[in-house]
Amino acid sequence: MEIAVEIIRAENVYKSFDSKVHALCGCSLSVQKGEVVAIIGPSGSGKSTLLRCMNLLEIPTSGKILFEGTELTQKHVKIDAYRQRMGMVFQHFNLFPHKTVLENIMLAPVQLKRKTKAQAREAAMQLLDRIGLADKADTYPNMLSGGQKQRIAIVRALAMEPEAMLFDEPTSALDPEMVGEVLDLMRSLAAEGMTMVVVTHEMGFAREVADRVIFMDEGRILEENRPEELFDHPQHPRTQLFLSKVL
Amino acid sequence: MDWNPFEGMSPSNFFNFSFLPKYLSFFVQGVEYTLLLSVVSVALAILPALLLALMRLSKWKPLKWVSGAYIAVFRSTPLMVQLYIIYYGLFSLIKVPTYTIFGFIDISRFIPGVVVLALNSSAYVAEIIRAGILAVDAGQMEAARSLGLSKGTSMMLVVLPQAIKNILPALANELVTMVKESSICSVLGMAELMWGAKTVANTTYKTLSPYVLAALVYFLINFPASKAIEAIERRMRRGDRR
């Protein structure tokens, strides 16, 4: 048994918008290196907000976010450096439409001087090979299907060689027949030991791939457990109600 | 009743361009002056406008206020008032030497004119750029930032290139507006199209037809230009399914 090393930690995070809408009400969460954590819950429960707080796309109103022990929520922390180490995948892909697939993947590694152009191109082509889209390298995102776009968005994040990946409902905007290809890629990432936090409505995926499942409602983490426990023996009545509706 | 209120409004007065052979140069040079004035002014306005737009979108309040105040002042006061204040204020301190370029453009008048039009236009172009930036999906900035790119790099490499598509047609329309608005510079003796028409009217005592001709010329520049911009806009939108 390996010793668990904490990589991301949220401590008592509150987030309110316009001081009226309370999206998060004291969430605490610890993610270990190599762990896959799935966050489930009804719409508006704050799961995306919690995920977006982890790389400070949302600034918590109060509470702390730590990455490998560094408190990101301190004012002087240069967040860009930490974002390079946490890839993020969005519901709507957010590929750059004015750049080719290859340019999308190469942009950050080259700009941030992680790699020379030639190295970045080689790495990008390897990543495209892996997802079987090498022939799309020079096409623009608008020519691709949703599933292809999302897989490219995933390898765009991987091109920065991050230590953790955040997924914000990565399959919610996809046609049903394209969900599988994206989940397959995520499954293979998990198998390689990538640390992943996945906000998802795919209960099957959460059950099969996640090491731990977190149930959220109304800005609070109500229950967290190993997937088989949480899905088969939910403790909190709200979890029971939610699962009875979605399973 | 032999008094006819519409006397002098007859087509023969409207379109009596008998002065043309003698005074053609006033109109030709007038058009050249007008076009040069407009193009240079809008071109000079772009960089300050980009700066104003970015300031207005900034999270830092003082920057936002300064830019907001500039835009409010220049959009809420008449161009002619701005022209007088800057010409008799600023340019009584800064003396531009009298020097003629292209044979008919006196820079001691042209430069103040360009400065005023550019200052005025930068307020409008700033709003055009701001709207163009805001029209780019917020997810683009988030995706760039989530890769670790700085705010500036994300703006320059990801957001602005996409915003340009929204900005260019509006900027071309601003140029059309400027061709018309620059006629105000005639009050300070800048030899653009309106000034040419006025001078011909004063010289020949034909008080109507020189202005009719000026209107025709303005129309023949601006109407095809607007139509061309519309057509280009339509084509760009069609290629925009991404």
Min Cα–Cα distance to chain A from B156, Å: 12
Whether the Cβ atoms of residue A231 and residue A57 lie closer than 8 Å to each other: no
Partners of B142 on chain A (C-beta within 8 Å) are: 57, 90, 94
The residue among A51, A88, A105, A111 with the most chain B CBs within 10 A of its CB, best to mutate, is A111
pLDDT at B17: 81
Please give the pLDDT value at position A2: 58
Is residue A1 pLDDT above 50, yes or no?
no
pLDDT above 70: percentage of residues in chain B: 93
Query: Is residue A70 within a helix (H) or strand (E), and if so which, with residue range?
Result: strand A70-71
A 147-206 residues with CB < 8 A to B: 153, 156-157, 160
A75 touches chain B (CB under 8 A): no
Q: What is the pLDDT of residue A118?
A: 94
What DSSP designation does B19 have?
T
Residue B242 is predicted with a pLDDT of 44
Contacts for B166-171: CB closer than 8 Å, 24+ residues apart: B166/B131, B166/B132, B166/B135, B166/B136, B167/B128, B167/B129, B167/B132, B169/B229, B169/B232, B169/B233, B169/B236, B170/B128, B170/B131, B170/B132, B171/B42, B171/B46, B171/B125, B171/B128
Judged by a CB distance cut-off of 8 A, whether residue A111 touches chain B is yes
The closest CB to that of A108, out of B142, B148, B241, belongs to B148
Choose from B141, B147, B241 for mutation: most chain A CBs within 10 A.
B147
Complex-level ipTM: 0.92
User: Taking all residues of chain A, what is their mean pLDDT, rounded to a whole number?
Assistant: 94
Buried b (16+ CB within 10 A) or exposed e, B15-49: ebbebeeebeebbebbbbbbbbbbebbbebbbebb
Tell me the three state secondary structure of residue B48: helix
Check pLDDT > 70 for residue B240. Answer: no
Measured between beta carbons, which residues in chain B are less than 8 angstroms from residue A96?
Answer: 140, 143-144, 158, 162
Whether A78 and chain B come into contact, CB under 8 Å, resolves to no
**Residue A230 DSSP label:** H
**Model confidence at B214: pLDDT above 80:** yes
B54-66 pLDDT, tens digit per residue, is 999 998 999 999 9
**Higher per-residue pLDDT: A242 or A3:** A242
In the block, residue with structure tokens 């995933």? A154
Predicted pLDDT of residue B57: 93
Alpha helices, DSSP H only, in B94-150?
A: 107-134, 138-146
Please report residues of B whose CB lies closer than 8 A to that of A90. Answer: 139, 142-143, 146
- Average per-residue pLDDT for chain B: 89
Q: What pLDDT, on the 0 to 100 scale, is given for residue A117? A: 94
